[in-house]
Amino acid sequence: MVNITHKSNSLRKAIAVATVQVSLPETIAAMQEKRVPKGDVFSFARVAALFAIKKTDAVIPDCHPLPVEFSAVTFTIQELSIVIQVEVHTIYKTGVEVEAMHGAAIAALTIYDMLKPIDQHIEIQQIKLLSKSGGKTDPKANHTTQLQAAVIVCSDSIYQQKATDKAGLAVIEKLKSFQIQTVNYTVIPDEPNAIREQQQRHIVDALPLLLFVGGTGVSPRDVTSDVIRPLLEVELPGVMEQARRYGQERMPFAMLSRSVAGFIQNTLVLTLPGSTSGATEYMDALFPAVLHALAIRNNEPH
Protein backbone atom coordinates (compact mmCIF):
# COMPACT_ATOMS: atom_id res chain seq x y z
CA MET A 1 0.00 0.00 0.00
CA VAL A 2 1.00 3.62 -0.50
CA ASN A 3 2.93 5.07 2.44
CA ILE A 4 0.73 7.59 4.29
CA THR A 5 2.71 7.77 7.53
CA HIS A 6 3.86 11.32 6.69
CA LYS A 7 0.27 12.59 6.49
CA SER A 8 -1.74 14.20 9.27
CA ASN A 9 -5.28 13.32 10.30
CA SER A 10 -7.98 15.64 9.04
CA LEU A 11 -11.74 15.57 8.59
CA ARG A 12 -12.46 13.98 5.23
CA LYS A 13 -15.85 13.55 3.57
CA ALA A 14 -17.07 11.94 0.37
CA ILE A 15 -20.44 11.55 -1.34
CA ALA A 16 -21.01 8.98 -4.07
CA VAL A 17 -24.08 8.12 -6.10
CA ALA A 18 -25.26 5.08 -8.04
CA THR A 19 -28.30 4.79 -10.30
CA VAL A 20 -30.39 1.68 -10.86
CA GLN A 21 -32.85 1.76 -13.75
CA VAL A 22 -35.88 -0.55 -13.77
CA SER A 23 -38.15 -1.21 -16.75
CA LEU A 24 -41.61 -1.24 -15.18
CA PRO A 25 -43.59 1.17 -13.03
CA GLU A 26 -44.86 -1.91 -11.22
CA THR A 27 -41.33 -2.62 -10.00
CA ILE A 28 -41.14 0.78 -8.33
CA ALA A 29 -44.56 0.26 -6.78
CA ALA A 30 -43.57 -3.15 -5.43
CA MET A 31 -40.49 -1.62 -3.76
CA GLN A 32 -42.41 1.25 -2.23
CA GLU A 33 -45.20 -1.02 -0.98
CA LYS A 34 -42.73 -3.66 0.27
CA ARG A 35 -44.18 -6.41 -1.94
CA VAL A 36 -40.87 -7.65 -3.37
CA PRO A 37 -40.62 -11.41 -2.62
CA LYS A 38 -37.06 -11.16 -1.29
CA GLY A 39 -37.97 -8.51 1.29
CA ASP A 40 -37.71 -4.80 2.00
CA VAL A 41 -35.38 -3.65 -0.77
CA PHE A 42 -34.40 -0.31 0.75
CA SER A 43 -33.60 -1.78 4.17
CA PHE A 44 -31.51 -4.60 2.69
CA ALA A 45 -29.65 -2.24 0.35
CA ARG A 46 -28.92 0.22 3.17
CA VAL A 47 -27.47 -2.50 5.40
CA ALA A 48 -25.43 -3.89 2.49
CA ALA A 49 -24.01 -0.43 1.80
CA LEU A 50 -23.00 0.04 5.44
CA PHE A 51 -21.25 -3.35 5.46
CA ALA A 52 -19.48 -2.45 2.21
CA ILE A 53 -18.28 0.90 3.53
CA LYS A 54 -16.67 -0.70 6.57
CA LYS A 55 -15.12 -3.58 4.59
CA THR A 56 -13.70 -1.65 1.64
CA ASP A 57 -10.08 -2.31 2.63
CA ALA A 58 -10.79 -6.07 2.65
CA VAL A 59 -11.72 -6.15 -1.06
CA ILE A 60 -9.82 -3.23 -2.63
CA PRO A 61 -6.12 -4.14 -2.30
CA ASP A 62 -4.59 -0.66 -2.03
CA CYS A 63 -7.20 0.82 0.34
CA HIS A 64 -6.05 1.50 3.89
CA PRO A 65 -8.13 0.41 6.88
CA LEU A 66 -9.62 3.54 8.38
CA PRO A 67 -12.14 4.54 11.05
CA VAL A 68 -15.58 5.30 9.64
CA GLU A 69 -16.93 8.10 11.82
CA PHE A 70 -20.23 8.64 9.95
CA SER A 71 -22.12 7.08 7.08
CA ALA A 72 -25.54 7.72 5.57
CA VAL A 73 -27.41 6.00 2.74
CA THR A 74 -30.42 7.59 1.07
CA PHE A 75 -32.64 6.55 -1.84
CA THR A 76 -34.53 8.80 -4.26
CA ILE A 77 -37.06 7.61 -6.85
CA GLN A 78 -36.97 9.49 -10.15
CA GLU A 79 -39.55 7.95 -12.49
CA LEU A 80 -38.03 4.51 -13.24
CA SER A 81 -34.66 5.30 -11.65
CA ILE A 82 -33.49 4.64 -8.10
CA VAL A 83 -30.73 7.06 -7.13
CA ILE A 84 -28.58 5.85 -4.24
CA GLN A 85 -26.53 8.42 -2.36
CA VAL A 86 -23.84 7.37 0.12
CA GLU A 87 -22.00 9.82 2.37
CA VAL A 88 -18.98 8.84 4.48
CA HIS A 89 -16.90 10.84 6.99
CA THR A 90 -13.63 10.01 8.71
CA ILE A 91 -10.90 11.78 10.64
CA TYR A 92 -7.84 10.12 9.20
CA LYS A 93 -4.80 10.46 6.94
CA THR A 94 -6.51 9.42 3.70
CA GLY A 95 -9.85 10.03 2.04
CA VAL A 96 -13.06 8.00 1.92
CA GLU A 97 -14.15 8.40 -1.71
CA VAL A 98 -13.57 4.72 -2.49
CA GLU A 99 -15.52 3.72 0.63
CA ALA A 100 -18.44 5.88 -0.49
CA MET A 101 -18.36 4.51 -4.04
CA HIS A 102 -18.04 0.94 -2.77
CA GLY A 103 -21.08 1.44 -0.55
CA ALA A 104 -23.09 2.86 -3.46
CA ALA A 105 -22.01 0.03 -5.76
CA ILE A 106 -22.97 -2.72 -3.30
CA ALA A 107 -26.30 -1.04 -2.57
CA ALA A 108 -26.97 -0.98 -6.33
CA LEU A 109 -26.04 -4.67 -6.69
CA THR A 110 -28.30 -5.54 -3.76
CA ILE A 111 -31.23 -3.75 -5.38
CA TYR A 112 -30.47 -5.52 -8.67
CA ASP A 113 -30.37 -8.91 -6.95
CA MET A 114 -33.63 -8.36 -5.07
CA LEU A 115 -35.56 -7.02 -8.07
CA LYS A 116 -34.40 -9.38 -10.83
CA PRO A 117 -37.11 -12.00 -10.09
CA ILE A 118 -39.81 -9.43 -10.90
CA ASP A 119 -38.04 -7.34 -13.55
CA GLN A 120 -35.74 -8.86 -16.17
CA HIS A 121 -34.45 -5.59 -17.58
CA ILE A 122 -32.80 -3.82 -14.65
CA GLU A 123 -29.62 -1.84 -15.30
CA ILE A 124 -26.99 -0.36 -13.01
CA GLN A 125 -26.31 2.74 -15.05
CA GLN A 126 -23.88 4.84 -13.10
CA ILE A 127 -21.59 4.84 -10.10
CA LYS A 128 -19.65 8.04 -9.53
CA LEU A 129 -18.10 10.29 -6.94
CA LEU A 130 -20.25 13.36 -6.36
CA SER A 131 -17.95 15.31 -4.04
CA LYS A 132 -15.09 15.00 -1.59
CA SER A 133 -13.39 17.33 0.86
CA GLY A 134 -10.50 17.33 3.31
CA GLY A 135 -6.79 16.67 3.02
CA LYS A 136 -4.19 18.51 0.97
CA THR A 137 -6.16 18.13 -2.26
CA ASP A 138 -9.01 20.17 -0.81
CA PRO A 139 -8.98 23.60 -2.59
CA LYS A 140 -9.67 25.26 0.77
CA ALA A 141 -6.38 23.88 2.10
CA ASN A 142 -4.28 25.18 -0.76
CA HIS A 143 -2.83 28.66 -1.10
CA THR A 144 -2.97 29.43 -4.81
CA THR A 145 -1.06 32.75 -4.76
CA GLN A 146 2.56 32.50 -5.87
CA LEU A 147 4.72 32.86 -2.77
CA GLN A 148 8.39 33.50 -2.15
CA ALA A 149 10.44 32.36 0.81
CA ALA A 150 13.90 32.58 2.34
CA VAL A 151 15.57 29.59 4.00
CA ILE A 152 18.27 30.41 6.55
CA VAL A 153 20.32 27.51 7.91
CA CYS A 154 21.73 28.15 11.39
CA SER A 155 24.68 25.85 12.03
CA ASP A 156 28.24 26.42 13.19
CA SER A 157 29.51 23.20 11.62
CA ILE A 158 27.90 23.81 8.21
CA TYR A 159 29.01 27.45 8.20
CA GLN A 160 32.58 26.32 8.94
CA GLN A 161 32.27 23.71 6.16
CA LYS A 162 32.79 20.85 8.61
CA ALA A 163 29.43 19.37 7.63
CA THR A 164 27.11 19.44 4.61
CA ASP A 165 23.65 20.93 4.76
CA LYS A 166 20.83 18.49 4.06
CA ALA A 167 17.98 19.84 6.16
CA GLY A 168 17.85 23.26 4.47
CA LEU A 169 17.91 21.72 1.01
CA ALA A 170 15.15 19.31 2.04
CA VAL A 171 13.04 22.26 3.19
CA ILE A 172 13.57 23.98 -0.17
CA GLU A 173 12.38 20.84 -1.97
CA LYS A 174 9.28 20.72 0.24
CA LEU A 175 8.55 24.39 -0.51
CA LYS A 176 8.92 23.69 -4.21
CA SER A 177 6.24 20.99 -3.97
CA PHE A 178 3.84 23.72 -2.79
CA GLN A 179 4.86 26.07 -5.63
CA ILE A 180 6.77 28.30 -3.20
CA GLN A 181 9.93 29.81 -4.66
CA THR A 182 13.00 30.06 -2.44
CA VAL A 183 14.60 33.37 -3.39
CA ASN A 184 17.36 33.25 -0.78
CA TYR A 185 19.21 30.33 0.78
CA THR A 186 21.89 31.26 3.31
CA VAL A 187 24.01 29.42 5.87
CA ILE A 188 24.95 31.37 9.00
CA PRO A 189 26.63 30.46 12.32
CA ASP A 190 24.64 29.96 15.53
CA GLU A 191 25.18 33.59 16.51
CA PRO A 192 22.37 35.91 17.69
CA ASN A 193 23.66 38.85 15.65
CA ALA A 194 23.76 36.82 12.46
CA ILE A 195 20.22 35.58 13.06
CA ARG A 196 18.91 39.10 13.74
CA GLU A 197 20.67 40.43 10.64
CA GLN A 198 18.93 37.86 8.42
CA GLN A 199 15.59 38.50 10.09
CA GLN A 200 15.87 42.27 9.60
CA ARG A 201 16.98 41.92 5.99
CA HIS A 202 13.98 39.84 4.95
CA ILE A 203 11.48 41.87 6.93
CA VAL A 204 12.69 44.98 5.11
CA ASP A 205 12.24 43.09 1.83
CA ALA A 206 8.64 42.21 2.93
CA LEU A 207 9.16 38.54 2.10
CA PRO A 208 6.00 36.56 2.96
CA LEU A 209 7.75 33.51 4.38
CA LEU A 210 10.99 33.24 6.37
CA LEU A 211 12.22 29.86 7.59
CA PHE A 212 15.13 29.34 9.96
CA VAL A 213 16.48 25.78 9.98
CA GLY A 214 18.48 24.71 13.04
CA GLY A 215 19.13 26.00 16.53
CA THR A 216 15.79 24.97 18.06
CA GLY A 217 17.05 22.31 20.47
CA VAL A 218 18.48 22.49 23.98
CA SER A 219 22.24 22.60 23.42
CA PRO A 220 24.09 25.77 24.54
CA ARG A 221 24.50 26.88 20.91
CA ASP A 222 20.81 26.38 20.00
CA VAL A 223 19.81 30.05 20.14
CA THR A 224 17.55 30.52 17.10
CA SER A 225 14.27 30.33 19.01
CA ASP A 226 15.63 32.54 21.82
CA VAL A 227 16.52 35.24 19.29
CA ILE A 228 13.34 35.04 17.19
CA ARG A 229 10.70 34.72 19.93
CA PRO A 230 11.10 38.28 21.36
CA LEU A 231 10.93 39.69 17.84
CA LEU A 232 7.57 38.12 17.00
CA GLU A 233 4.76 40.67 16.95
CA VAL A 234 2.07 37.97 16.77
CA GLU A 235 3.13 34.56 18.06
CA LEU A 236 1.29 31.48 16.76
CA PRO A 237 1.83 28.87 19.49
CA GLY A 238 -0.60 26.38 17.93
CA VAL A 239 1.59 26.04 14.85
CA MET A 240 4.53 24.50 16.67
CA GLU A 241 2.28 22.62 19.08
CA GLN A 242 0.97 20.80 16.00
CA ALA A 243 4.50 20.21 14.68
CA ARG A 244 5.71 18.78 18.00
CA ARG A 245 2.64 16.57 18.32
CA TYR A 246 3.19 15.27 14.79
CA GLY A 247 6.86 14.62 15.48
CA GLN A 248 6.25 12.96 18.85
CA GLU A 249 4.05 10.37 17.15
CA ARG A 250 7.06 9.37 15.07
CA MET A 251 10.00 9.58 17.49
CA PRO A 252 10.35 10.12 21.26
CA PHE A 253 12.49 13.28 21.30
CA ALA A 254 10.31 15.72 19.33
CA MET A 255 9.03 17.12 22.63
CA LEU A 256 12.49 18.68 23.18
CA SER A 257 12.10 21.03 20.23
CA ARG A 258 11.79 24.73 21.14
CA SER A 259 10.62 25.87 17.70
CA VAL A 260 8.50 29.02 17.49
CA ALA A 261 6.27 30.59 14.84
CA GLY A 262 4.61 33.93 14.29
CA PHE A 263 4.47 37.18 12.36
CA ILE A 264 6.93 40.02 12.20
CA GLN A 265 4.97 42.66 10.32
CA ASN A 266 3.43 40.61 7.48
CA THR A 267 6.19 38.00 7.27
CA LEU A 268 5.42 34.56 8.63
CA VAL A 269 8.51 33.31 10.47
CA LEU A 270 9.01 29.62 11.24
CA THR A 271 11.93 28.06 13.09
CA LEU A 272 12.51 24.42 12.21
CA PRO A 273 14.78 21.68 13.60
CA GLY A 274 18.23 21.29 12.10
CA SER A 275 18.03 17.55 11.49
CA THR A 276 16.86 16.48 8.05
CA SER A 277 14.15 14.22 9.41
CA GLY A 278 12.97 16.84 11.89
CA ALA A 279 12.80 19.60 9.30
CA THR A 280 10.93 17.50 6.75
CA GLU A 281 8.50 16.23 9.38
CA TYR A 282 7.74 19.80 10.44
CA MET A 283 7.09 20.71 6.80
CA ASP A 284 4.77 17.72 6.43
CA ALA A 285 2.97 18.65 9.63
CA LEU A 286 2.46 22.33 8.82
CA PHE A 287 2.09 22.75 5.06
CA PRO A 288 -0.02 23.80 3.29
CA ALA A 289 -2.40 24.58 6.18
CA VAL A 290 -0.02 27.10 7.80
CA LEU A 291 -0.23 29.24 4.65
CA HIS A 292 -3.79 30.11 5.61
CA ALA A 293 -2.26 32.43 8.19
CA LEU A 294 -0.89 34.56 5.36
CA ALA A 295 -4.34 34.89 3.83
CA ILE A 296 -5.78 36.00 7.16
CA ARG A 297 -2.93 38.43 7.74
CA ASN A 298 -3.59 39.97 4.33
CA ASN A 299 -7.32 40.32 5.07
CA GLU A 300 -8.31 37.82 2.39
CA PRO A 301 -11.79 36.24 2.78
CA HIS A 302 -11.75 33.08 4.88
Write out the catalytic residue numbers: 113
Q: How many CB atoms lie within 10 A of CB 229?
A: 15
3-state secondary structure the chain: CCCCCCCCCEEEEEEEEEEEECCCHHHHHHHHCCCCCCCCHHHHHHHHHHHHHHCHHHHCCCCCCCCCCEEEEEEEEECCEEEEEEEEEEEECCCCHHHHHHHHHHHHHHHHHHHCCCCCCCEEEEEEEEEEECCCCCHHHCCCCCEEEEEEEECHHHHCCCCCCCHHHHHHHHHHHCCEEEEEEEEECCCHHHHHHHHHHHHHCCCCEEEEECCCCCCCCCCHHHHHHHHCCEECHHHHHHHHHHHHCCCCCHHHCCCCEEEECCEEEEEECCCHHHHHHHHHHHCCHHHHHHHHHCCCCC
